[in-house]
């Protein structure tokens, strides 16, 4: 047993979770950092699982080179594949249903029970579809060449000659895998398709987004225009203060509150700085 490999696996697993949690805290909104622990756990475990799937082949290679008895890689691969299925069929739908009903005026327990119910329905539908596909088209077709050859009588003490033969045909041998292997294959196939689509879209969209961000970048305001806006807001602020200080007494009897800005703008026109056109502040 390679003790260093075992220690490295444990340390990498812990560091992955810590880095995923830090990444979540760094990019999350201030109001959502510590709200909804189910969502936090789901996001952190999802990012950790994605990183583990990337580094698992390296650990598998190191484990094989060290004798293959340090880490049970076959079991680890099965657990990783099962974790992907659980995330897709249970955890992510649970998070979606849980946060879709967050704004409703219901209690936490009722919200949680409703999300669990919807998740169970989604998991049952996923399982039924997977089982129906496995029962109907759950075969692996392996093309196999079929040869034929002529038989010759063997005479003792002689060297047999090479018999003549040729390729007769190619047939497809159907082999039914296990249900677990079939689900892994379906998920991998769908993942490859999604990666191809979104990867291609991203390759095209990323340069366009960068070009548009450069085109629409903020430009510095010229000094003369900046000075005009300074004068404009200074004059308007002074005029507003004057209006609010000498307002009519009749308005005080009808409303104890100060004059609203729409009233000021609609009934008491304010002077504009020359060269500027505006409809209000």
What digits encode the pLDDT tens for the residues 110-167?
Answer: 888 888 899 999 889 988 988 898 988 888 888 888 877 666 666 666 665 555 566 6
What percent of the chain stands above pLDDT 90?
14
Torsion of CA 126, 128, 130, 134, to 10 degrees: 180
pLDDT score, position 48? 93
Is the pLDDT score of 85 beyond 90? no
Q: Which residues have CB under 8 Å from 145's CB, separation 6+?
A: 167, 169, 170
Indicate the pTM of the whole model. 0.60
Backbone angles phi, psi at 92, to 5 degrees: -65, -45
What does the domain layout of the chain look like in residue ranges? 3-137, 223-267
Q: Provide mean pLDDT across the span 228-249.
A: 81
Distance CA 58, CA 64 (A): 10
CA 48, 53, 58, 61 dihedral sign is positive
3-class SS shares of the chain: helix, strand, coil, % to 5: 65, 5, 25
Supply 120's token pair. 């169970």
Q: What is the pLDDT of residue 137?
A: 86
CA distance 185 to 21: 30
Evaluate if residue 104 carries a pLDDT over 70: no
Query: In this predicted structure, what is the pLDDT of residue 160?
Result: 59
pLDDT at 257: 43
Residue-level pLDDT at 276: 44
What is the pLDDT averaged over residues 242-257? 57
Q: Does 14 score more than 70 pLDDT?
A: yes
Q: According to the model, what pLDDT value does residue 4 have?
A: 84
Sign, CA dihedral 250-255-259-263, equals negative
The answer, yes or no, to whether residue 64 has pLDDT greater than 50, is yes
Quote the pLDDT of residue 267: 41
146 strand-pairing partners: 169
Q: What's the confidence (pLDDT) of residue 44?
A: 92
Is the confidence at residue 255, as pLDDT, over 50?
no
């Amino acid at each position: 047993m390679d003790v260093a490999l075992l220690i490295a696996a444990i340390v990498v697993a812990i560091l992955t979770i810590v880095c995923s949690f830090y990444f979540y805290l760094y990019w999350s909104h201030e109001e959502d950092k510590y709200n909804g622990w189910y969502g936090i756990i789901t996001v952190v475990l999802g990012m950790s699982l994605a990183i583990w799937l990337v580094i698992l082949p390296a650990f598998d290679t190191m484990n094989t080179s060290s004798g293959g008895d340090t880490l049970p890689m076959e079991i680890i691969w099965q657990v990783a594949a099962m974790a992907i299925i659980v995330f897709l069929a249970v955890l992510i739908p649970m998070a979606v249903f849980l946060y879709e009903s967050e704004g409703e005026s219901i209690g936490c327990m009722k919200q949680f029970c409703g999300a669990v119910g919807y998740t169970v329905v989604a998991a049952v539908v996923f399982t039924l579809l997977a089982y129906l596909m496995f029962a109907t088209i759950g075969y692996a077709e392996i093309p196999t060449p079929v040869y034929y050859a002529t038989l010759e009588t063997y005479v003792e003490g002689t060297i047999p000659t090479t018999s003549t033969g040729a390729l007769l045909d190619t047939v497809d041998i159907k082999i039914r895998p296990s249900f677990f292997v079939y689900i892994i294959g379906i998920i991998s196939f769908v993942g490859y398709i999604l990666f191809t689509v979104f990867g291609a879209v991203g390759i095209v969209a990323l340069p366009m987004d960068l070009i548009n961000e450069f085109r629409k970048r903020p430009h510095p305001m010229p000094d003369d225009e900046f000075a005009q806006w300074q004068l404009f807001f200074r004059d308007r602020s002074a005029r507003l203060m004057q209006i609010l200080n000498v307002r009519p007494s009749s308005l005080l009897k009808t409303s104890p509150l100060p004059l609203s800005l729409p009233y000021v703008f609609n009934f008491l026109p304010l002077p504009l700085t020359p060269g500027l056109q505006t409809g209000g502040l």
